[in-house]
Amino acid sequence: MAELPELADDRALLGRTSTAERVADILRTRIAEGYFPPGTRLSEDSIGGALGVSRNTLREAFRLLTHERLLTHRLNRGVFVRVLTVEDVEDIYRTRRLVECAVVRGLDARPYALDAVAGAVTAGRKASRADNWKGVSTANIHFHRELVALAGSERTDELMRSVLAELRLAFHVVDDPQHLHEPYLTRNAQLLGTLEAGRHDEAEAQLAGYLDDSRRQLVEVYGSRVAANDPQTG
């Protein structure tokens, strides 16, 4: 990992107020995009040089992302992007079910701005037509992020940002992303329609079943991949 030209392009995002939090934001995004796949060792020299930040700033960013369970420190070996266990995936879905269903259950009769949720549905369909399954995955993550944003809670938004970023670590090692993501294009549109109709109880039931099905499917696929490759887990 001697040269990181793509990461160097992110340098402008730091502006004049370079902070560990901003570096962590950049690295979190790159990890979520799969630029640094699970199991990748992160080089302080390469990343620090690409972003033009000090070693201390970078280490603080690594610490923040380790706290978010996106990175892991291995004694005498360095910092690596985490490889999730099947148990991690199960726990992520338990958290998602608790939070996302609670958000939908808490909606009342007031009209809610669903434009961002609808935009994620449109983006997913557009990506699927282009056979861009990485884009479909991203649109699906945005769908659930915007769904949680209906609660109007910065704390919940922050929690789900971390949970969904961690989930993508599992998505990046799946061999057939189309098989994984395609069924949820229709289910996202159905859930949006139920919300637009104001049927929140029905929407909560749809979402609960949706998440249970997604969990079972991902655990089956991911568990098979873990068994086949026996990766080091963090």
pLDDT at residue number 74 = 92
Answer whether residue 65 is part of any domain: yes
Spatial separation of the C-alpha atoms in residues 177 and 170, rounded to whole Å: 11
Identify whether residues 215 and 109 lie together within a single domain. Answer: yes
HSE-CB at 169 with a 13 A cutoff on CA atoms is 26
Alpha-carbon gap, residue 75 to 31, rounded angstroms: 21
- The CATH number for 146's domain is 1.20.120.530
The better pLDDT of the pair 190, 15 is held by: 190
- Paired residues of 74 in beta bridges: 78
The per-residue pLDDT for 205 is 97
Q: Which of 54-68, 100-114, 153-167 has the lowest mean pLDDT?
A: 100-114
Higher pLDDT, 225 or 31: 31
Whether residue 12 sits in one domain with residue 117: no
User: Domain ends where: 81, 103, 132?
Assistant: 81
Same-domain pairing of 68 and 120: no
Kindly state the helix (H) or strand (E) to which residue 7 belongs, with its residue range. Answer: helix 5-8
Structural domain for 154, as ranges: 86-229
Q: Are residues 109 and 221 in the same domain?
A: yes
Cα–Cα dist 5/8, whole Å: 5
Select from 81, 99, 127 the last residue of a domain.
Answer: 81
Q: Verify that 71 and 111 share a domain, yes or no.
A: no
Q: Is residue 149 part of a domain?
A: yes
* 146/39 same-domain check: no
Q: Could you say which of 81, 109, 139 is where a domain stops?
A: 81
Q: What are phi and psi of 211, to 5 degrees?
A: -65, -35
pLDDT at 230 over 60: no
Average per-residue pLDDT for the chain: 89
| Radius of gyration, CA atoms only, the chain | 19
By three-state DSSP, how is residue 222 classified?
Answer: helix
The domain that holds 63 is classified in CATH as 1.10.10.10
Mean pLDDT of 78-89: 94
pLDDT, residue 227, reads: 61
- pLDDT mean over 158-172: 91
Q: How far apart are CA 219 and CA 107, in angstroms?
A: 30
Distance (Å, rounded) from C-alpha 208 to C-alpha 175?
Answer: 26
pLDDT mean over 88-103: 96
- Between 219 and 9, the higher pLDDT residue: 219
> Cβ atoms within 10 A of the Cβ of 99, count?
18
* One-character DSSP codes across 86-155: HHHHHHHHHHHHHHHHHHHHT--SS----HHHHHHHHHHHHHHHTT-HHHHHHHHHHHHHHHHHTT--HH
The 41-42 sheet, strands edge to edge: 41-42, 78-81, 71-74
State residue 224's pLDDT score: 76
Distance CA 208, CA 1 (A): 42
- One domain for residues 142 and 223: yes
Average pLDDT over residues 14-32: 79
- Note whether 92 and 55 are same-domain residues: no
Give residue 234's pLDDT: 43
**114 and 176 belong to one structural domain:** yes
Q: How many CA atoms lie within 13 A of 108 on its CB side?
A: 1
The pLDDT value given to residue 222? 87
pLDDT of the residue at 17: 46
Residue-level pLDDT at 175: 82
**Among 15-19, 90-94, 95-99, which stretch is predicted with the lowest mean pLDDT?**
15-19
Please report, to the nearest 10 degrees, the dihedral formed by the alpha carbons of residues 45, 51, 57, 59 taken in order. -40
Same domain, 93 and 159: yes
pLDDT for position 2: 52
Which H helix or E strand runs over 81?
strand 78-81
Same domain? 149 vs 122 = yes
Domain co-membership, 225 together with 171: yes
Q: Say how many domains are in the chain.
A: 2
| pLDDT score at 16 | 45
Q: What is the mean pLDDT of residues 171-191?
A: 92
